[in-house]
Copies of this chain bind each other. A is one copy, B any other.
Amino acid sequence: MGGGRMLPILGAFRHHICLRTSSLTASTPRAFTSQIIKSPSLLSLDLSDSWSSPSKQSEESYTPEEYSNNCIAKIIDGKAIAENIRSRIASEVSRMKELIGHVPGLAVILVGQRRDSQTYVRNKIIASEEVGIKIKMISLPENCDECEVCNVLCRFNKDPSVHGVLVQLPLPQHLDEAKILNVINVEKDVDGFHPVNMGNLAMQGMEPLFIPCTPKGCIELLVQSGVEITGKKAVVIGRSNIVGLPMSLLLQRHHATVTVVHDFTKKPEKITREADILVTAAGVANLVRGSWLKPGVVIVDVGTNPIEDRRSEHGYRLIGDVCLEEAIRTASAITPVPGGVGPMTVAMLLYNTLLSAKRAFNFT
């Protein structure tokens, strides 16, 4: 990345970030997008809102009666879809290596010793290496200060062999997460958590450089499962900066009518019962029961909650936010936990890293 493309970061704690505005709204190359993932670029979705005639507005998307309690939901196989995407990414990476002698590089910063974070980071590293993405990994001690994290970040921001920089969240309490995420160069923000990427995700007519991996993975699951999003009622449970918020923004860019349910929502089950598409990211095991669901709903379960299980090798197993046994009798499709959204998050991280490297090398 040449000096003419981006001003250098002026050192940790001066907190200047410099954006090349023209690239903030750059659209994803269409051919490339259709090759690896199926979800379209956001700009291609933009349509002007002109309030139409009541006849169009009252059209029903489907008849709930089509679904009876005896139907069994289709299980959306996130693992298989993700594997397919990863193999396409691997082909692209080898083509890149062959043609220009470079591969994408991903830098990962892990602070502290959280077990779950270590597992997530390990999975990301293995998956990256499998597709040929070069990893640079820095572990910092639990008690490190903001200055140390920012110094590492600035080094990666400037390193031309690094195309994606990610800080594994959550960070230890004493570190200011917002401040640290702000230091990441937006052109390497493969997690898509920088405010400028979030703003461009929210605003019609804009295209973020990166879309957060989990929401992007959820949309890809819906698109690949043939679920129509436009005009559907979508309910998102949870409003975290990492999942719930960008998920709701992305569904809205896809022209769903979106409601976000959170801790302050009264009678959430009344709202979820209206959903054609339900995305759960509450982090509460079995929060969503069968009675919370409209017959025929499509469910994307982002929750991964450990529950004790003595029969399991590690003494626990992961379950989602949705009570699968109950949901399976009401929903038309559902993502399992594990094997649903999880593998897609990792695949989208690799996709974003490849996208970033292609931009940096102007490789099409």
Contact = CB atoms under 8 A, between A and B. Distances in A.
Of A52, A177, A252, A265, most buried by chain B (CB within 10 Å of CB) is A265
A24 interface: yes
Interface stretch (A56-64, A73-81, A122-130, A156-164): A56-64
A140 interface: no
Interface in A223-268: 230-231, 233, 238-241, 245, 249, 252, 255-268
A231 B264 CA distance: 5
A41 to B, nearest CB: 14
Contact of A257 (B199, B255, B264): B264
Interface stretch (A15-23, A83-91, A103-111, A308-316): A15-23
A328 to B, nearest CB: 23
A194 B21 CA distance: 11
Contacts of A178: 25, 203, 205-206
Contact of A259 (B203, B231, B258): B258
Contact of A182 (B21, B182, B282): B21
A230 B266 contact: no
Interface string A144-167: 000000000000000000000000
Contact of A21 (B183, B201, B203, B252): B183
A257 B262 contact: yes
A273 to B, nearest CB: 12
Contacts of A256: 264
A94 interface: no
Contact of A177 (B61, B205, B257, B271): B205
A4 B361 CA distance: 32
A214 interface: no
A51 B280 CA distance: 13
Given A241-B204, A271-B257, A287-B51, A17 B15 contact: no
A25 B262 contact: no
A119 interface: no
Given A49-B238, A60-B266, A257-B262, A25 B179 contact: yes
B287 A241 contact: no
A333 to B, nearest CB: 20
A-B residue pairs, 10 tightest by C-beta: A195-B199, A199-B199, A15-B21, A198-B199, A49-B263, A259-B259, A257-B265, A21-B182, A255-B264, A15-B22
Given A21-B183, A60-B266, A257-B262, 6 more contacts: A49-B264, A51-B284, A196-B196, A202-B245, A202-B249, A231-B265
